[in-house]
Amino acid sequence: MTSILKAGVFTLGGRTVNRMGYGAMQLAGPGVFGPPKDHAAALAVLREAVASGVNHIDTSDFYGPHVTNQLIREALHPYPDDLTIVTKVGAIRGADASWNPAQSPEELTRAVHDNLSNLGIEAIDVVNLRVMGDVHAPSEGSIAPQFAALAGLQKQGLIKHLGLSNVTSTQVAEAQSIADVVCVQNLYNLAHREDEALIDELAGQGIAYVPFFPLGGFTPLQSSTLSEVAAELDATPMQVALAWLLHRSPNILLIPGTSSVGHLRENLKAADLVLSDAVLGKLNTIGDQSAEG
């Protein structure tokens, strides 16, 4: 079995986690809404991830909604002692599957309680405040009221650690003036590299950076350069894209998602890839081309 330990470890919320984790979003139905098309397969993916050494699972109660958390509970509860579950709050789903802001203290409090109930736990390892901003890009603006509400729940013992999602460097600093931040989850991948400075800034503080859509999300990464490098390394383009992220900075934690055991195993094998400086140089041009475009 591929050892994901080759990817190394990093501290997340006071725990040491393997840098190759798993994101549960794709376990829900189409559009991250409704139940999975194959319930048993969804449970199998979660169990395979943990059996393979994954000890960092990313989820949210607005995936489904409620679906992924209920699947995680069914598949893995009682949870392994070393498993860190990270969730996010700040949005709610409409009946039409829309993603709507839910950022008031009351809505955030309700979301935390929903996560606790559906996961079957008394305290959540890490809760990220998901700032809605510009959907998949952050926009400036104070997040103090929202983060303070979560910090209050942390003081009550319902949350162990706090993180942020879809935020700017300024917003990270504002949150840190209220309570400790253990991770930041933003859009970042081989082709979308707006957060270069933020990643390095967080690395200097020992804070984890967790890229969402590490493989492009709903529009998967496509690049002739990526395909060429993958062919040279006898790997898939997605494995190379994940390996590039692991090489980018030691504070990057990966949470690629899938609803297939086969695809999960393929993703985890990215930990085996060693990228030379020459290969990294080639791959870095993809982001340069994207920025020019």
Residues whose CB is less than 8 angstroms from the CB of residue 18 and which lie 6 or more positions away in sequence, other chains included:
4, 5, 7, 8, 9, 53, 54, 55, 56
The candidate with the shortest Cα–Cα distance to 75, out of 259, 271, 270, 266, is 259
Give the active site residues: 63
Identity of residue 162: L
CB 88 within 8 A of CB 60: yes
